[in-house]
Amino acid sequence: MFENEVVKEILNKYRRIWSIGHAMGLMGWDNETYMPPKGSEERGYAFAELSTLLQELLLSDSFVQLVEKAKNQDNLNDYEKGVVRVLDREISIFKKLPPSLIYEISKTSEEAFHAWKVAREKNDFSIFAPYLEKIIKLNIEKAEKLGYEEEPYDALLDLFEEGLRARDVVSIFSYLRPNLKRLLDKVISQKYFYFEPELEKIKYEKEKMEKVNIEILNLLQYPWDRARLDVSPHPFTQGLGINDVRITTRYEGYDFKRSLFSVIHEFGHATYELQIDENLKMTPIGGGVSLGIHESQSRFWENIIGRSYQFTSIVKSILDKNLEFTKKYTDEDLFRYFASVKPSLIRTEADELTYNFHILLRFELERLMLKGETKVDELPEIWNQNMEELLGIRPKTFSEGILQDVHWSHGDLGYFPTYTLGNIVAAQIREYLMKNTPLYDLINEKRFNDIKDRLRDLIHKYGSTYKPKELLLMKIGEVYNPEYLIKYLTEKYLK
């Protein structure tokens, strides 16, 4: 796979850089799961020091010269070209960002995460506000250092989805917003999926729900010798390598689908990382290509598979055995509960029809922040007004409004649009697979490894070898096309 001698030398030197990233990933996972709260200050310094050390190694003269030499090599294969492309991009980014800025962002985000947790628990935005204000200023500085042609948001979007621009996102939402609104209005009028599920209010015991989640992962053939399931305030996936991937969920004690679909969602992320070609491990291309493509895998498993009638019928016996209260409900009752539509305040609990309105809200707020067109103390009210305009509901607390997401505490602006890209690409993949794959028959027959094999060959095995748009064009014939999402939702929801 890697035959060029210069590229081999690069990969040998890269092991040290990869190892620092590996350690930082483990620290990040620990930070969100088991680290004592008072450890945040020391962890913040340690994380910041490692961030700057990683930058120093990546920008060392000997390493940069090797990458430059590789750029001029003839006859590199696709994997070698991918290594050079990814490293050249990282070097370019790090050259533009001074170590002091990277250090400050890392340190601030470590402290901000714990401030966010406390603020969310106490429903007190003032605890988090000073950190958010600093994060916005640091991201504005970051965008200016990186450079952009049209607006600051472009510079940050590109970090998460190579080649994506704000105008692309505006174009996507210009199509989605009216079409989703039309669909939502029809679903509400039909009332089949628009109702108040009794199951949302039924309480469950954490220990029993844990058993459900483990059995669901066993059904999906989750490799426990290479992966874990833990608990965190905000469900996430941490890939430390292709043989060490960790996912989390949360247990709120009611509305069990929240915990269940968090697990299935994160399983999708984990499966991507676990199915990258073994030959790519510990290389610059040994991870997912972008957040949008990554999100497409989690949304594919969560929504297209997990919320299907076929999957519902399969998991009914697991639920009945462990939760017991589900016994009195039919397969169709459960399916309607899983696929129910109701404008809600919390993004992670939003249904398939309303989810992208949550992303639109965050996208518009982030653009305001980066343009300096709003003050931090105005953000909660702007959030509430936009939520009311988009979905007809208004948060009563900070915790169910502006404090609900963890992302800004991590220092990340420009991340949220990749969630909508994920929904779009998941629908595109479904359409592509169904041309020559009996997808829903495979679900009925519990042949989940067959589905994973198809996704491996389509997306997973390549890691970051190709750019996101290049990969999509090569494998499914077109890039982000929101029409397939509307088609899928129309077929599912309009009876």
Does residue 110 carry a catalytic annotation?
no
Is 87 within 8 Å of 67 (Cβ atoms)? yes
pLDDT digits (tens, 9 = 90+) for 35-48: 998 998 899 889 98
3-state DSSP call for residue 249? Answer: strand
Separation between Cα atoms, residue 203 and residue 201, nearest integer Å: 6
How many Cβ atoms from other residues are within 10 Å of residue 450's Cβ? Answer: 16
- Give the whole-angstrom CA distance, residue 66 versus residue 433: 41
Pairing of strands 227-231, 244-249: parallel
CA angle 66, 56, 35 (to 5 degrees): 130
Angle at which helices 5-33 and 99-122 pack, to 10 degrees? 30
In eight-state DSSP terms, residue 330 is -
Q: What is the pLDDT along the chain (495 residues), one digit of tens a residue?
A: 899 999 999 999 999 999 999 999 999 999 999 999 899 889 988 998 999 899 999 999 999 999 999 999 999 999 999 999 999 999 999 999 998 998 899 899 989 999 999 999 999 999 999 999 999 999 999 999 999 999 999 999 999 999 999 999 999 999 999 999 999 999 999 999 999 999 999 999 999 999 999 999 999 999 999 999 999 988 999 999 999 999 999 999 999 999 999 999 999 999 999 999 999 999 999 999 999 999 999 999 999 999 999 999 999 999 999 999 999 999 999 999 999 999 999 998 899 999 999 999 999 999 999 999 999 999 999 999 999 999 999 999 999 999 999 899 999 899 999 999 999 999 999 999 999 899 999 999 999 999 999 999 999 999 999 999 999 999 999 999 999 999 999 999 997
Active-site residue (options: 32, 111, 266, 366): 266
Helix axes 125-146, 152-160, angle to 10 degrees: 90
Angle between helices 125-146 and 99-122 (to 10 degrees): 150
Residues 6+ apart with CB under 8 A from 120: 128, 233, 398, 399, 403, 404
Q: What is residue 404's DSSP assignment?
A: S
- 265-294 pLDDT, tens digit each: 999 999 999 999 999 999 999 999 999 999
Beta-bridged to residue 310, according to DSSP, are none
Torsion of CA 225, 229, 230, 236, to 10 degrees: 120
The answer to whether 366 and 407 are in contact (CB under 8 A) is no
Q: What does the DSSP 8-state code read for residue 305? A: I
